[in-house]
Amino acid sequence: MPQDDSAARHRAAAAGAVGNVVEWYDFAVFGATATLLADVLTAGGEGSLTGVFAVFALAFVVRPLGALVIGARADRTGRRGPLVTTLGLMTVATAAIGLLPPWAAIGMAATVALLILRAVQGFSSGGELVVSVTYLVEHAPRHRRGLRGGLHLATMALGFAAGMGAVAVLQRALGPTTMADWGWRLPFLLAVPLGLVGLYLRWRTDETPDFRRQVSESRSRLAPLAEVVGRHRDTVSGGFLLAAALASSFNLWFVYLPNLLVSDGRYDLQTVLSGALAGLVTLAASAVVCGHLSDRWGRRPVLLAGVSSLVVLWVVAPPRVADGSLASLVVADVAMGAALGAFVLQSALADRLPARVRTSGMAVSFGLASALVGGTAPLVASLLTDTVPVALYALVWALSASVVVVRWSGAAEVSESDVRAGGPGPAATDDVSVAEG
């Protein structure tokens, strides 16, 4: 029985991780090709890049709907079905972007179609974000949930790295002219085989033990979203601010900044994508290491290290990157990746929310912040234009996150008895985390 249980956990981790990589690969390709999409699928000219960032932001406006709708469904019917649905939607929408005719052929219809498909991507990714982390964490032993939460963040980073890496490789192999002509379509079309692999793995997985247990034992009569807002307001509000700091810094640094540096002529596309790739790989490694450390030391010290590093980086890094030095760019990318990897927010939230509302709580905090703050960050930055206001904007969220971590120092977490019995709230402990031996 223990061997079967261990095998099931490993299958679940593989399905959640591989599917998450595919999902975020699809999402990242759009950001990596923003300058090309601005030339091919819009009228071009001044302001075209801002227009593409507006389309980028639209997906994040739709994401809360996906997070709330799919998250509530996952709390009612289970995690497995929504995981299959979100990946299927994302695969179809991404491949369809790769098949769009250019503006020169169909005019405004190209931009409108891009807008619709990006909205589908946003709905899918909103659901994926909150269901996949719940699925991964609930399939882990409680003393390894930090590691599984880190795995979730790591696979997000690896998916982004794969998307940006694919574009960088094609840019080098095909050259700028061919890439702008038809080569930009290839990374979008690669979503089809990748998505099929992820769907196969997810279809073969089991429901999580926590969900099966709460179906038979939970006595709560409230709808998941109503219970989250009514009983776990402090947890989701704090989670929102932490997720806002994580998502805004991630999208400003790894989506907005590469495109800005290319459009300003400070670096070529291949160079900035290579630097971002190094940062994303570092983020993935940092997330796994920091997740493991949070299981041993608790969530708070690891989170505090992450938000403190983020504050320092937004003060010192932007001027160094703006000078056009490749070494400065790579060092800053790696440092940013290491800092963001210390945001063990997924496991911290899972600790504080009972299984019956865990996905909905993730949706209200992690999902909404990633969409409303993180998703609009590149658009806000493109309107601010100057690097100083952009850095100040990121700093506001980072400093807010640091206040939350301090306030959470003596906060409560959900006990196993609350998870099983559907009790009214978390049990008092000394830290945010569960660190069983």
pLDDT in tens, 184-233: 999 999 989 989 998 998 888 888 888 888 766 555 556 778 888 888 99
Q: What is the mean pLDDT of the chain?
A: 82
Q: Are the beta carbons of 113 and 103 closer than 8 angstroms?
A: no
Give the separation between CA 422 and CA 219, rounded to whole angstroms. Answer: 6
Report CA-CA distances (Å) from 28 to 36, 237, 242.
14, 27, 22
Lowest mean pLDDT among 58-62, 80-84, 98-102, 302-306: 58-62
Give the separation between CA 129 and CA 156, rounded to whole angstroms. Answer: 9
Residue 436: Cβ-neighbour burial (10 angstroms; 0-12, 13-18, 19+): exposed
Residue 387: Cβ-neighbour burial (10 angstroms; 0-12, 13-18, 19+): middle
Give the separation between CA 75 and CA 200, rounded to whole angstroms. Answer: 23
**pLDDT grade for 56, boundaries at 50, 70 and 90:** low
Non-local CB neighbours of 380 within 8 Å, separated by 6+ positions: 393
Non-local CB neighbours of 43 within 8 Å, separated by 6+ positions: 103, 111
The CATH number assigned to the domain with range 2-208+224-421 reads 1.20.1250.20
Give the separation between CA 152 and CA 18, rounded to whole angstroms. Answer: 10
* pLDDT 10s digits, 299-342: 999 999 999 999 999 999 887 787 767 888 899 999 999 999 99
pLDDT of 311:
95
* pLDDT 10s digits, 258-307: 777 877 777 777 788 788 889 989 999 999 999 999 999 999 999 999 99
Give the separation between CA 118 and CA 55, rounded to whole angstroms. Answer: 7
pLDDT of 427:
34
Residue found by looking up tokens 């790769």 in the block:
98
For the segment 45-57, the average pLDDT, to the nearest whole number, is 63
